[in-house]
Structure 1
Amino acid sequence: MTHIPEKTPYTVPLETLLEQGNILKIKPQGYSMYPLFIPGRDEALIEQVPITQLKRGDVVLYRRRHGILVLHRICRITPAGYYMVGDNQYETEGPLSAEQIHGKLIGVIRNGHSFSVVHPLYRFLSMLWLNLLPLRPLCFRISAFLKKLR
């Protein structure tokens, strides 16, 4: 029998990697950002940016007070903080403090091909969908109805 030496795994918090200037490639889980991210298919490129550069429509990586990391879109910024929403949701979350935000989405990798979030078509579609936030419940009901018809 071969003896395998025990080693303590070395883990580094994602926040530390971002603070060191690294660009992270992560695989988002769940469907809160559907159709931008489909679990198992898409990857997100995240970079730390100054909080003053964040604006409505940006997708950011933040840590909830209970510890989970979330990748959602900024729907509103107020003196109280940042309000977030997933692209596949209609209820906002917030206010979040600037300290909870650790990085910003700079690109998406889909099926081995990448695109930047500064691409005009991406920006247009993102802002269009964000502006339709009040109508999302209706959009979701119509979508569910159409699926039943098939």
Structure 2
Amino acid sequence: MTNEIEQLSEQLYFSDIEKLVSAGHSVKIPIQGNSMYPFLIDGRDRVSIKEAGNISKGDIILIKTEEDQYILHRVYNIRHEKYILMGDRNLHIMEVCMKKNIIGKVYEIERNGKKINPYSFSEKIKATVWRTLRPVRRYLINLLSVINDDLKKEN
């Protein structure tokens, strides 16, 4: 029963976000989950989402799947009007969606009170390098996790 309530609550939350974005508003939401690690971290980062406009490879978008799941992932590729998405932490799992499934696009990241443009030159370079490192991501993620754990222990 608790799981059903959580799912309903999440559906209502995201349906409200969908309505606001489609009405032309910007919505700021906290990151939940670890699929976008190391670029977006659960509990630390928040993202501002607006209507998508043009979508390019490397953009971070919020979609609603045909199964009514909401996913915030990066566009890995675009083929024949299909958008192939992948979380930055994911090694193999990709989602495919159509333009109609896209709710909005991330236009700003807020991290520790600082605003970051995810499409700045430096952020685009980081994302491009990370995408090309896909074959060794598992090892890099493990290394980053160890470093982050050590930093938390020091503080």
TM-score (norm 2): 0.77
Deviation string for 1:94-120 (max 9, x for gaps)? 321111111111110011111111221
Aligned match of 1:20 in 19, 23, 26?
A: 23
Shift of 1:134: 3.6
* Comparing 25-34 and 113-122, the one that deviates more: 113-122
Give the distance between the partners of 1:87 and 1:109, measured in 2 at CA.
18
Tell me the SS of whatever aligns to 1:77. strand
* Comparing 32-41 and 92-101, the one that deviates more: 92-101
Give the distance between the partners of 1:23 and 1:102, measured in 2 at CA.
12
The equivalent of 2:122 in structure 1 is 121
- Structure showing greater radius of gyration is 1
* Comparing 126-135 and 15-24, the one that deviates more: 126-135
Aligned match of 1:44 in 43, 47, 50?
A: 47
Shift of 1:93: 2.0
Deviation string for 1:5-50 (max 9, x for gaps)? xxxxx97622111111111100121100011121111101111122
Matched residue pairs, number?
Answer: 135
Give the distance between the partners of 2:111 and 2:42, measured in 1 at CA.
11
The equivalent of 1:109 in structure 2 is 110
Q: Answer whether contact 1:61 1:71 (CA < 8 A) is retained.
A: yes
1:120 alignment partner AA: F
Q: Answer whether contact 2:58 2:76 (CA < 8 A) is retained.
A: yes
The answer as to 2:49 corresponding to 1:33 is no
Give the distance between the partners of 1:72 and 1:99, measured in 2 at CA.
16
Going from structure 1 to structure 2, the CA distance change for 1:63 and 1:112 (only over 3 Å counts) comes to same
2:68 alignment partner AA: G
Identity in percent: 27
Q: Answer whether contact 2:108 2:116 (CA < 8 A) is retained.
A: yes
Q: Answer whether contact 1:77 1:83 (CA < 8 A) is retained.
A: yes
Question: Over aligned residues, Cα RMSD in angstroms?
Answer: 2.4
Q: Answer whether contact 2:59 2:75 (CA < 8 A) is retained.
A: yes
Give the distance between the partners of 2:45 and 2:96, measured in 1 at CA.
28
Give the distance between the partners of 1:133 and 1:47, measured in 2 at CA.
28
Give the distance between the partners of 1:84 and 1:118, measured in 2 at CA.
17
Tell me the SS of whatever aligns to 1:126. helix
Unaligned runs of at least 5 residues, structure 1:
1-9
TM-score (norm 1): 0.79
